[in-house]
Amino acid sequence: MVIGIVSIDLYMNGNRSLKEKRQIVKSLIHRVQSRFTNVSISEVGSLDLWQKTTIGIAFVGNETRFVNSVLDQVTDFIESTGLVEMGKRELEILHY
């Protein structure tokens, strides 16, 4: 079993409030969950900052290559939405 975990810092430079940030993050999470049904995603950091957030994404599979591929697709999809600017991305692969 291979578990892939990615943490991504996202920036929303046009935001003016936490409410606006939360609407964008909620929309982004919903889009990812709708398109990638086997992926877990959540806002995990920078909760009180209105122009930045950190999301965590996890996926479980049988092969490292497949897990990497899915997480890359999710990352590319997030970037393609145009809702946020991507910052630091950290990937961790665990083997059990």
Domains delineated in the chain: 2-95 (3.30.70.1120)
pLDDT greater than 90 at residue 47? no
Say what the pTM is.
Answer: 0.88
Nearest to 71 by CA among 89, 45, 54: 89
* Section 67-90 average pLDDT: 94
Q: Which residue is listed with tokens 């999470």? A: 29
Residue 41 is predicted with a pLDDT of 96
Q: How far apart are CA 32 and CA 20, in angstroms?
A: 19
Yes or no: say if 90 and 7 are a contact pair by the CB < 8 Å rule. yes
As a whole-number percent, the residues of the chain with pLDDT over 70 amount to 100
46: confidence class by pLDDT, cuts 50, 70, 90: confident
